[in-house]
C-alpha cells in the first residue's frame, strides 16, 4: 500500500533573502512559483540561523499575503480616526507630500518631525532626514531599549544582541536577565540547545518563568526593577571573596585611571590627563605618572596621587569603596529583590568557580594595544545576556551599566567562553558620532542626528537656550538619549512644546495603539482640533505602513509600503548589523515576488521625494535623480570613500571586502551568495578585540573604522561626571534648578541602583504589572497572522498563586486592574511560576476593532487587551509639585515596566475587556473566512 506523495514543492525557484518577522534577520529560502510565494524555510548556509526558523519566520507567508495589506495610496476623506479614505494615485500622493514638505524645508525644516518604528534602514532614513534639514528624526529606540544600547556603548563599546553574544561554543555558565524571546531569537535558541547539550548551566533572572527561563537550571523570580541591586550585590560578594580578575582590570579597563577628588577643584570627578588629554595612571613599579597607553606602564590599581592641593584616587579604589559597602550584601538586598540571600551567595560562588577555577585558554599569540606580545587568549567561561526586562525601567541605564561592570571585574568580555563582540563592534562612544542639532532654512542638518555626548557641551540646546529637538532628546531631562524619544513626540507636537510643528511623518510605528503610553490620551492628541480655527492641533500627518494598523486611520496621507518579500533592503554594517563573533556579515532583501497592489517600498518613495524636494546627495548637478531606486542607492551610495551600505563584493572586480569602489552588480553577487555576505576574522584577531592590535588593523582594513580605535572599558563613566558638574556652564547650557538634585544623584559615574517605587504609592498599588513577548509573535504583527493568532488569539492576565488566593479568583474570572491613572478590565488566569507580587500578560495581542483585516468581533479586540492604557508618559504629581517623566533620567527610555497596579475581582457578564474603543471603518476588506 505504498503511496507516492507529491514532490512538486522542490521544483520551484528558491529565492534566498532575509526574514523581517522580527529583528533577528534570519536567512530564508522562499520557494516561489508563478510570482506566488509557496513556502518559506530557513537558509542552512546563513550565519544567523543556520537553517532553523522560528514560528514567526515560518508563518511569513501570511505576513506577505496578509488581508490587512494596504492597496493604494490613501487620502483622508473623513475625520481623523474614522478610517475613511479615498484612494489616490502615487502621482497625486507624492504631489501632496511635496506640496506640504517643500515650504517647510524652505522656511523651517524643524517643523517636519520624522520618526520611524519597525525600520531596518535607519542609516538611510536618518540620512534622508539629515539632508532634509530637520533635527527631528529618530527611530523607535527611545521606547524600546536605548538603556541597553547606550549603557553598553558607553561602558564596553557594545552591548548584547546585535553588538555581541555569549560564546555559545565555550561558555559553561550563562546568566540571562530580563530576556525577551525575540531579539536575536534564533541564535539564542540555537545557543541554549548547544549549551545544555554540552552540560553547561543556565541561570535565569526574570519575574516570569516562561520560554528560555523555563529550561534554566535555576530561576530567580526577581521583583521587577531590582535587577541592578541584584547585580551590585553579586559584585559585592565577588569583591568580598577576592574573586576578581586583577590583571584584566589593570590592563584593559579604566580602573587604574586617576579621578580628581578635590571638591573645590573644577576638575573634581574628572580624570587626570596630560597636556595632550591622555589619561594618566600611576606606575605600580615606579609610583610615577605615565600615560595609560605607555608601552612600559604597569598600571597601579590602588595608589592615590597628589598634585599641589589636588588629590586623585583611582577608579578602582572608588569602586571598592562603593561596592564593599554592606548596603549591597545579599542579606541586605534579599527582601527588595525578592531573592533569598543564599541564592545570591550561591550564584556568586558559582560564577566565581567557573570564571576562576575552570578558566580556558586558546594558544594563539597576539599583541595588545600597548605593543606587548601575548601567547594565548585566556578565557573565563561565564557569560551574560540581558534585554529589555532590565532596561525598560527608570533605573535601567545604571542597571545595564552595572551588568557590564560585573562582566568586567570577572574579565569575561570578549574572551573565550565569555561575552564576545560581533563586528562592527566593539566601537567605543568616542568612535561614534556626536548628536547634531544645527538646522537652518533650505539646508541639511550639520551632521547625524543621533550619537553619544561626551559632556554638557554636546547637549541639544540652541544658543538662545531653547531646546533643539521636538522630543527634547539630549536635554537635561535625559541627556544621553542616544536613540531619541519617539514616545514623547505626539505629546510634544500637540502641546507645541518646545515649538509648534507642521507635519508629523511616521513610518511603521503603531503609535495610536500598542506603541504609545496611554493610548486613549494619544488618540485624543492626534484628533483634537483648535477650537478657533477648526484645524487639527497637529496640522498634518503622513504615515507609511504595509498594513491597516490602528495608526493608519489617524493620518491624512498614507503611503502604502510593500511586504518584506517585495522590496530591496540592506542589513548594513552602517546600521544594525547581523554578525558573528568570528565573522563580519551583512545581508540583503530583494523582491522575490512583485507586488500585486499599487504599493511601493518606503525607501524608494523617500528617494523619490528627495529628488522632488531637490535634496542634496539625492540629485545630480542637472537636478535629476542621482539614484534610480533604493537598490541603486544600496549599490552606489558611499558614506565615506569606499564604504557603502553593503560591505561585500565591492570594487571593480567584485572581490573587495569592506572597502572598495561601488559595484553595480553587487546585489546580484549577494543573491548568488545566498542573500548575505560574510568573511571570517583571522584567529589572532578573534578575541580581546578592543585591545588586540591585529583586530584593530583588520577592522580598519574592513572599513569598520578609519583609524585604529583601541580603548579601555569605562567602569567610571567620565561623561556622567561632567554632567554632574554644572556650575561653570554657560547660561544656555545650565539645567533648571528643579533638576539639579536629580542630575547630581542619578548621573553617578559608577553604576548605582535606586528604587523606582515609592513606598507610599506602593501601599495603594501593591503589584507590578509587566508584559512578556511570546516567542511566536512580535509586536502588533503577530495577531493578524492567521496561523499565529491560533496560537495566541487572546491574552489573559496571569497572576501569581498569592494574588489568585488573596482575591479568590476562579477559572473564567475577570479582574479590574487599576493604575494611578486608569483602569482596565481583563480575563485572569493562574500561573505559579512568577514573582508573587507580579502580574503579567503577552505583549501587543489586543487589537482595535475594525483594523488589521480582522472581523470586528474577534477575540483580539473583544477580549484581548493592552497594558498601555494603564501607563502614562508623565507620572502623578510628586511632593515637589512636578509631574516627572515616566522614563529613565539619563537616556529618557520609556519605563514601561515600572508600572504598579492594584487588582480586584469583578463580575463581567458581557465578557468584554475594557476599555473598548469604537470600531474603525476599514478601507480594506476583512480577510477571508476560509483558507485552504
Contacts of other proteins in 320-339 (CB under 8 A): 320-321, 324, 330-331
| Gap between the Cα atoms of 394 and 885, Å rounded | 9
Specify which residues 31 forms β-bridges with: 14, 39
Nearest to other proteins of 136, 185 (CB atom): 185
Is residue 41 near other proteins by the rule CB under 8 A? yes
Binding part of the chain for other proteins, among 213-221, 400-408, 653-661, 898-906 by CB under 8 A, reads 213-221
**Residues touching other proteins: how many (CB under 8 A)?**
108
Nearest to other proteins of 51, 591 (CB atom): 51
Interactions with other proteins, residue window 840-859 (CB under 8 A) = 853-855, 857-859
**What's the closest the beta carbon of residue 743 comes to other proteins, in angstroms?**
27
Nearest to other proteins of 190, 619 (CB atom): 190
Is 525 strand, coil or helix? Answer: helix
| Gap between the Cα atoms of 505 and 95, Å rounded | 15
User: Cβ distance 839 to 797 under 8 Å?
Assistant: yes
**What's the closest the beta carbon of residue 458 comes to other proteins, in angstroms?**
35
Enumerate the H helices of 546-692 as residue ranges: 602-612, 630-636, 666-672
Interactions with other proteins, residue window 873-892 (CB under 8 A) = none
Nearest to other proteins of 522, 922 (CB atom): 922
Q: Is the dihedral of CA 154, 160, 162, 165 positive or negative?
A: positive
Start-to-end C-alpha separation, the chain: 27
Is 850 strand, coil or helix? Answer: coil
Binding part of the chain for other proteins, among 234-242, 287-295, 388-396, 557-565 by CB under 8 A, reads 234-242
Is residue 833 near other proteins by the rule CB under 8 A? yes
Cα dist from 393 to 389, 396, 771, whole Å: 8, 5, 13
Q: Which of 106, 198, 241, 306 binds other proteins (CB under 8 A)?
A: 241
**What's the closest the beta carbon of residue 569 comes to other proteins, in angstroms?**
22
Nearest to other proteins of 21, 815 (CB atom): 21
**What's the closest the beta carbon of residue 564 comes to other proteins, in angstroms?**
16
Is residue 61 near other proteins by the rule CB under 8 A? yes
User: Cβ distance 233 to 344 under 8 Å?
Assistant: yes
Is residue 303 near other proteins by the rule CB under 8 A? yes
Reading the block at residue 69, the C-alpha cell is 495589506
| Gap between the Cα atoms of 71 and 924, Å rounded | 8
Binding part of the chain for other proteins, among 241-249, 407-415, 603-611, 821-829 by CB under 8 A, reads 241-249
Burial 777-814 (b: 16+ CB within 10 A, else e): bbbbbbbbbbbbbeebebbbbbbbeebbeeeebeeebb
Is residue 51 near other proteins by the rule CB under 8 A? yes
**What's the closest the beta carbon of residue 664 comes to other proteins, in angstroms?**
32
Q: Which of 96, 98, 700, 791 binds other proteins (CB under 8 A)?
A: 791
Q: Which of 17, 18, 43, 49 binds other proteins (CB under 8 A)?
A: 49
User: Cβ distance 778 to 22 under 8 Å?
Assistant: yes
Across 88-196, the runs of DSSP E, i.e. the strands, are 112-116, 137-138, 164-166, 173-177
Q: Which of 71, 87, 96, 218 binds other proteins (CB under 8 A)?
A: 218
User: Cβ distance 565 to 578 under 8 Å?
Assistant: no
Q: Which of 52, 153, 259, 643 binds other proteins (CB under 8 A)?
A: 52
Binding part of the chain for other proteins, among 459-467, 636-644, 657-665, 923-931 by CB under 8 A, reads 923-931
**What's the closest the beta carbon of residue 215 comes to other proteins, in angstroms?**
6
Interactions with other proteins, residue window 161-200 (CB under 8 A) = 181, 185-186, 189-190, 192-194, 196-197
Reading the block at residue 802, the C-alpha cell is 498569592
| Gap between the Cα atoms of 586 and 679, Å rounded | 10
Enumerate the H helices of 392-539 as residue ranges: 396-410, 486-495, 519-527
> Based on C-alpha coordinates, what's the Rg of the chain?
27
Is residue 799 near other proteins by the rule CB under 8 A? no
Interactions with other proteins, residue window 5-34 (CB under 8 A) = 5-12, 31, 33
**What's the closest the beta carbon of residue 854 comes to other proteins, in angstroms?**
5
Interactions with other proteins, residue window 264-293 (CB under 8 A) = 284
User: Cβ distance 838 to 223 under 8 Å?
Assistant: yes
Is residue 928 near other proteins by the rule CB under 8 A? yes
Environment class of residue 10 by beta-carbon count within 10 Å: exposed (0-12), middle (13-18) or buried (19+)? exposed
Q: Which of 22, 70, 74, 203 binds other proteins (CB under 8 A)?
A: 203
Q: Which of 340, 455, 591, 651 binds other proteins (CB under 8 A)?
A: 340
Length of the chain: 932
**What's the closest the beta carbon of residue 222 comes to other proteins, in angstroms?**
14
Binding part of the chain for other proteins, among 212-220, 453-461, 638-646, 815-823 by CB under 8 A, reads 212-220
- For 408, list phi and psi in degrees, rounded to 5: -70, -45
Nearest to other proteins of 11, 909 (CB atom): 11
Is residue 789 near other proteins by the rule CB under 8 A? yes
**What's the closest the beta carbon of residue 789 comes to other proteins, in angstroms?**
6
Burial 627-657 (b: 16+ CB within 10 A, else e): bebbbbbbbbbeeeeebbbbbbbbeeeeebb
Is residue 787 near other proteins by the rule CB under 8 A? yes
Instruction: Determine the longest span between alpha carbons in the chain, in angstroms.
Output: 97
**What's the closest the beta carbon of residue 863 comes to other proteins, in angstroms?**
10
Nearest to other proteins of 221, 424 (CB atom): 221
Amino acid at each position: 500500500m505504498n503511496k507516492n506523495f507529491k514532490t512538486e514543492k522542490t521544483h520551484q525557484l528558491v529565492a534566498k533573502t532575509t526574514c523581517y518577522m522580527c529583528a533577528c534577520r534570519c536567512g530564508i529560502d522562499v520557494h516561489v512559483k508563478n510570482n506566488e510565494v509557496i513556502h518559506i524555510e530557513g537558509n542552512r548556509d546563513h550565519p544567523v540561523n543556520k537553517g532553523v526558523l522560528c514560528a514567526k519566520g515560518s508563518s511569513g507567508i501570511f505576513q506577505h499575503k496578509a488581508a490587512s495589506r494596504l492597496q493604494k495610496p490613501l487620502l483622508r476623506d473623513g475625520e481623523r480616526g474614522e478610517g475613511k479614505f479615498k484612494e489616490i494615485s502615487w502621482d497625486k500622493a507624492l504631489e501632496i507630500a511635496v506640496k506640504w514638505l517643500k515650504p517647510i524645508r524652505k522656511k523651517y525644516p524643524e517643523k517636519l518631525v520624522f520618526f520611524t518604528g519597525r525600520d531596518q534602514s535607519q542609516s538611510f532614513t536618518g540620512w534622508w532626514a539629515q539632508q532634509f534639514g530637520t533635527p527631528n528624526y529618530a527611530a523607535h529606540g527611545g521606547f524600546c531599549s536605548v538603556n541597553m544600547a547606550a549603557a553598553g556603548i558607553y561602558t564596553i563599546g557594545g552591548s548584547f544582541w546585535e553588538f555581541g553574544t555569549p560564546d555559545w561554543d565555550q561558555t559553561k555558565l550563562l546568566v540571562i536577565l530580563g530576556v525577551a524571546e525575540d531579539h536575536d531569537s534564533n541564535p539564542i535558541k540555537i545557543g541554549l540547545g548547544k549549551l545544555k547539550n554540552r552540560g553547561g548551566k543556565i541561570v535565569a533572572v526574570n519575574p516570569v518563568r516562561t520560554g528560555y527561563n523555563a529550561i534554566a537550571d535555576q530561576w530567580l523570580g526577581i521583583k521587577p526593577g531590582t535587577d541592578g541591586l541584584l547585580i551590585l550585590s553579586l559584585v559585592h560578594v565577588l569583591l568580598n571573596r577576592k574573586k576578581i580578575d586583577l590583571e584584566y582590570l589593570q590592563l584593559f579597563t579604566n580602573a587604574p585611571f586617576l579621578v580628581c577628588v578635590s571638591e573645590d577643584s573644577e576638575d573634581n570627578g574628572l580624570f587626570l590627563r596630560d597636556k595632550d588629554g591622555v589619561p594618566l595612571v600611576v606606575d605600580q613599579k615606579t609610583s610615577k605618572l605615565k600615560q595609560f597607553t605607555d608601552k612600559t606602564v604597569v598600571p597601579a590599581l590602588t595608589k592615590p596621587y597628589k598634585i599641589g592641593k589636588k588629590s586623585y584616587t583611582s577608579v578602582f579604589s572608588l569602586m571598592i569603596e562603593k561596592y564593599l559597602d554592606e548596603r549591597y550584601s545579599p542579606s541586605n538586598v534579599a527582601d527588595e529583590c525578592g531573592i533569598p540571600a543564599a541564592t545570591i551567595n550561591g550564584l556568586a560562588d558559582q560564577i566565581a568557580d567557573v570564571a576562576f577555577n575552570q578558566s580556558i585558554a586558546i594558544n594563539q599569540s597576539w599583541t595588545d594595544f600597548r605593543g606587548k606580545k601575548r601567547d594565548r587568549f585566556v578565557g573565563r567561561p561565564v557569560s551574560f545576556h540581558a534585554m529589555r526586562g532590565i532596561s525598560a525601567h527608570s533605573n535601567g541605564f545604571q542597571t545595564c551599566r552595572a551588568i557590564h561592570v560585573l562582566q568586567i571585574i570577572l574579565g569575561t568580555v570578549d574572551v573565550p567562553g565569555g561575552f564576545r563582540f560581533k563586528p562592527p563592534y566593539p566601537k567605543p562612544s568616542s568612535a561614534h558620532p556626536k548628536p547634531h542639532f544645527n538646522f537652518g532654512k533650505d539646508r541639511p542638518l550639520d551632521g547625524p542626528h543621533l550619537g553619544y555626548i561626551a559632556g554638557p557641551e554636546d547637549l541639544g540646546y540652541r544658543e538662545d537656550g531653547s531646546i533643539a529637538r521636538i522630543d527634547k532628546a539630549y536635554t537635561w531631562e535625559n541627556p544621553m538619549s542616544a536613540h531619541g524619544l519617539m514616545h514623547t513626540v505626539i505629546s510634544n507636537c500637540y502641546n507645541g512644546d518646545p515649538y509648534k510643528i507642521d507635519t508629523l511623518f511616521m513610518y511603521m510605528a503603531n503609535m495610536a495603539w500598542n506603541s504609545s503610553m496611554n493610548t486613549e490620551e494619544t488618540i485624543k492628541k492626534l484628533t483634537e482640533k483648535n477650537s478657533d480655527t477648526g484645524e487639527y492641533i497637529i496640522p498634518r500627518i503622513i504615515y507609511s505602513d504595509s498594513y491597516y494598523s490602528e495608526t493608519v486611520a489617524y493620518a491624512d496621507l498614507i503611503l502604502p509600503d510593500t511586504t518584506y518579500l517585495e522590496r530591496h533592503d540592506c542589513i548594513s554594517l552602517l546600521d544594525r548589523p547581523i554578525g558573528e563573533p568570528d565573522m563580519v556579515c551583512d545581508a540583503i532583501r530583494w523582491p522575490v515576488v512583485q507586488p500585486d497592489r499599487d504599493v511601493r517600498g518606503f525607501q524608494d518613495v523617500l528617494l523619490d521625494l528627495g529628488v522632488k524636494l531637490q535634496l542634496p546627495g539625492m540629485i545630480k548637478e542637472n537636478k535629476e535623480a542621482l539614484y534610480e531606486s533604493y537598490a541603486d542607492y544600496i549599490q552606489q551610495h558611499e558614506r565615506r570613500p569606499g564604504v557603502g551600505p553593503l560591505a561585500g563584493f565591492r570594487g571593480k572586480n567584485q572581490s573587495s571586502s569592506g572597502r572598495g569602489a561601488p559595484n553595480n552588480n553587487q546585489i546580484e553577487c549577494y543573491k548568488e551568495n545566498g542573500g548575505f555576505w560574510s568573511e571570517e576574522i583571522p584567529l589572532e584577531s578573534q578575541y580581546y578585540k578592543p585591545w588586540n592590535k591585529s583586530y584593530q588593523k583588520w577592522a580598519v582594513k574592513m572599513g569598520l573604522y578609519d583609524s585604529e580605535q583601541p580603548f579601555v572599558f569605562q567602569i567610571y563613566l567620565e561623561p556622567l561626571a561632567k554632567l554632574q558638574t554644572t556650575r561653570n556652564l554657560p547660561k544656555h547650557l545650565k539645567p533648571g534648578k528643579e533638576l539639579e538634585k536629580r542630575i547630581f544623584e542619578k548621573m553617578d559615574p559608577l553604576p548605582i541602583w535606586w528604587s523606582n517605587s515609592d513606598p507610599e504609592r506602593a501601599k495603594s498599588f501593591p503589584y507590578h504589572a509587566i508584559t512578556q513577548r511570546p516567542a511566536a509573535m512580535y509586536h502588533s504583527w503577530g495577531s493578524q497572522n492567521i496561523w499565529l493568532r491560533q496560537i495566541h488569539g487572546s491574552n489573559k492576565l496571569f497572576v501569581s498563586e498569592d494574588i489568585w488566593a488573596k482575591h479568590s479568583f476562579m477559572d473564567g474570572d475577570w479582574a479590574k486592574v487599576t493604575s494611578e491613572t486608569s483602569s482596565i478590565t481583563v480575563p485572569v488566569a493562574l500561573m505559579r511560576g512568577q514573582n508573587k507580587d507580579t502580574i503579567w500578560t503577552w505583549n501587543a495581542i489586543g487589537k482595535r476593532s475594525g483594523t488589521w483585516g480582522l472581523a470586528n468581533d474577534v477575540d483580539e479586540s473583544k477580549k484581548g487587551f493592552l497594558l498601555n492604557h494603564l501607563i502614562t508618559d508623565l507620572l502623578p504629581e510628586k511632593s515637589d509639585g512636578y509631574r516627572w517623566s515616566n522614563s529613565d533620567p539619563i537616556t529618557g527610555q520609556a519605563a514601561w515596566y515600572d508600572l504598579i497596579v492594584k487588582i480586584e475581582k469583578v463580575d463581567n457578564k458581557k465578557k468584554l475587556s475594557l476599555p473598548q474603543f469604537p470600531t474603525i471603518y476599514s478601507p480594506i476588506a476583512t480577510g477571508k473566512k476560509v483558507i485552504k
